[in-house]
């Protein structure tokens, strides 16, 4: 998949006004994710994502930081200038697109490293395997 196709999916799913907004949110979510997972896993994920989106995962960060979902969303909100609830929407738009783009094995490896309450961010729920859209407000 090309980067513009990936971002179009994120834009549609997140109901963003522009491709640029989808790109900003995508980079923020991937950047924060890379600080939460082991560097090898970030590299593996980056290899399955289109350039230049993979760059956010390739930054040297050292050891992963063991923060929870709430802190993850706070960091995404800080990166995007959004409220925490909006950051949850943004994160779901990006990570569910990631889950549709990369191999199922890669998604499994990611979910193995994260607390179980993160699965829905990847569009993985018991009853609905793919996240569905809704509305959001950035402010």
pTM of the model: 0.87
Over residues 31-43, the mean pLDDT reads: 94
Whole-angstrom Cα distance, residue 105 to residue 77? 28
Q: Which residues make Cβ contacts (< 8 Å) with residue 126, sequence separation at least 6?
A: none
Whole-angstrom Cα distance, residue 37 to residue 110? 8
Q: pLDDT-based confidence at 1, cuts 50/70/90?
A: confident
95, with CB counted inside 10 A (0-12, 13-18, 19+), is buried
The tens digit of pLDDT for each residue in 46-55 reads 999 999 999 9
Average pLDDT value over all residues in the chain: 88
Structure tokens at 138: 């950035």
The tens digit of pLDDT for each residue in 72-102 reads 999 999 999 999 899 999 999 999 999 999 9
Q: Which of 56, 55, 128, 64 is nearest to 96 (CA)?
A: 128
Is a pLDDT exceeding 80 seen at residue 117? yes
Whole-angstrom Cα distance, residue 121 to residue 131? 8
Query: Residues 87, 76: contact at Cβ < 8 Å?
Result: yes
Please tell me which residue, 63 or 93, carries the higher pLDDT value: 93
What's the confidence (pLDDT) of residue 132?
36
Whole-angstrom Cα distance, residue 70 to residue 22? 22
Structure tokens at 95: 């990570």
């Amino acid at each position: 998949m090309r980067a513009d196709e990936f971002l179009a999916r994120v834009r549609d799913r997140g109901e963003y006004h522009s491709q640029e907004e989808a790109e900003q949110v995508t980079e923020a979510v991937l950047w924060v994710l890379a600080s939460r997972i082991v560097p090898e896993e970030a590299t593996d994920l980056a290899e399955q994502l289109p350039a230049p989106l993979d760059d956010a995962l390739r930054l040297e960060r050292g050891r992963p930081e063991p923060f929870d979902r709430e802190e993850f969303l706070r960091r995404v909100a800080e990166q995007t200038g959004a409220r925490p609830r909006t950051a949850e929407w943004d994160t779901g738009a990006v990570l569910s697109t990631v889950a549709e783009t990369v191999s199922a094995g890669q998604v499994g490896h990611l979910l193995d490293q994260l607390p179980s309450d993160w699965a829905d961010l990847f569009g993985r729920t018991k009853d609905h395997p793919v996240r569905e859209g809704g509305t959001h407000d950035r402010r």
